[in-house]
Structure 1
Amino acid sequence: MTLTVTNKPLYLAMGAVFVLNMVLFAATRAVLDLSTIWDVLLFTLTFGAFFFVFARLSDKGFGGLAGRAFYSGRYFCEAMFFTTLISLNIPALNHLTMTIPFPYQDELLNAGDVALGLDWLAYFEWVHASPTVIAVMEWSYNKLSLVGLAVMALLILTQETRRVLFHMEIFFYTVIICVLIGAAFPALAAVDMYIEDIAAYTNFPNAPGVYHLPWMEMLRDPAQSPLINPVSAPGLVTFPSYHTASGILLCITAWRTWMFWPVALYSAIMIASSPIFGGHYFVDLIAGTAIALAVSAAVLRLRRYEGMFAPRRAASGKGALPQTA
């Protein structure tokens, strides 16, 4: 028997990213730090093995409770397997591409905000004035990965497996586009542009929007051979905002399910937090939204997702394995 693979092109694309990372490690001064990567590798291999086992069992056509358990287990393990592959490959690609010495684009990005009449500093001051707003925004910004996994788990439990596969696909393609564009438009970001002394803003328990600065300096310093550990590497993309794109992707995935409004509320708060805790310019948020919508629209044209968002009376995202395309 052969294992049914729901999306071969997606796994081939992940393989291409891995190969690109290896080429960049060989071509740049960066060094792969393996000191803490083994636990994540074991985690990845474990979920990959369980994905294989549950897929074989679900392909046998068991009915009843056992069939539902195998079916749900298959997609949960695949989602976790693919998520851990992303966590190993995308941060490495992000940091490796940031070693390319493109000039900082803060003046250009800030000019975009000014042209749109958007006052970043006034927004920062408004957020700083309320410790409650700070606490809610900081929580939402830091919990994106957890919320994303929770949404995937709930979709699997309700047999919305096409939506799970759809989200994996749009998530992966969107983050690749954001990383590659971000490498060409590096920035120190809005907090560094506007705030001379972040310590003076005492309502913030942790200095927002500046966590990336030491990493940017290290990666762009030709005298250093930076160690890159995908497990601990923070995101360095300013333009476009991937947090914003992720919030939009979650809303699209949850459209016409009972989760849509809770997800939309969370995403709205999280996106609103991005200019502060991600240090983003407002044009970063606009670009992240545009990319998320464009990728989602393109992927929805694939035959395997046909009718997925149609009203419940006409179609459903539940049921058998989607066809490959």
Structure 2
Amino acid sequence: MTEFIEPKVVIIEEPRQRGLRFRYQCEGRSAGSIPGQSSSAEKKTYPTIKIQNHRGPAIVVVSCVTKDSPHKPHPHALVGKDCKKGVCTVKVKDTSVISFPHLGIQCAKKKGIQESLDLRKSVNVDPFQTGFEFVNSSAEMSVVRLCFQVFLPDGSGKITKVLQPVVSQPIHDKKALNDLVICRVDKSSGRAKGGDEVFILCEKINKDDIGIKFYEERKDGTIEWEAFGEFGAGDVHRQYAIVFKTPEYRNCYINRPVQVFMQLHRPSDAETSEPINFIYMPDDPGKHIVVTVLGYFDSR
């Protein structure tokens, strides 16, 4: 007897995380198509799933959900072929691999968020049964994930079997993400015990989605130590400057300067700026010199 293996959904081509501009309905033009992660000018790809251990009729519902778990319905809508009321519904007859070449993301205006969620509620598309409440913030509005729900026929041929939904990697609105660039800092060294105040000038950032990372690398390129500067939303000036305090180095009692790296870090997509050097200094460098000299004469 052949053992039955339960069907499941896997994503075999993720959507590209960056490069797509979310568009508003009032812009009056196509929202474009979400490219696949490996898409190129020579060979275009699109988000694609596979229903493992199944070949035959199926219904696939694709919708936008929030980035963080538990994933909630996102007010942004999918538009394009096979899309209605913000979701895409595809009926397949005899295949296990389904690609989505005509999906675009249409922004919900802030004042239209509830209306969009009510529309989603009317068609009962809530993949993880998390409800239709949404935290309205610039960080949440600038990123979505695609959620793929697959429905299969039961023994009688009726489409009643629901597979576990899967979510894609985050898709970020191109217009909301700038390249991270450090333009200038007022100091590039500080005490090993941390707490030094540093002013940094940078290209435009989102105060709710930015960090300042310090790290040290081994010779093989692996990270030996990392920590983050301390600051609050009030320490970000007009999205172009940050005042922060340096973190404590992994050894507060160093007896010589240690070079580490400092860079901007965006938590939502793990993007970073080019690193710059930062030097951790002993509390009293002169003390180390005296001790070394005395040790030299003692040894003689």
Bin of the TM-score, shorter chain as denominator length: under 0.3
Greater C-alpha radius of gyration: 2
- TM-score normalised over the length of structure 1: 0.20
- Higher relative contact order, structure no. (Cα contacts within 8 Å, ≥ 6 residues apart): 1
Q: Which has the higher helix share?
A: 1
**TM-score, L = length of structure 2:** 0.21
Which structure carries more strand by proportion? 2
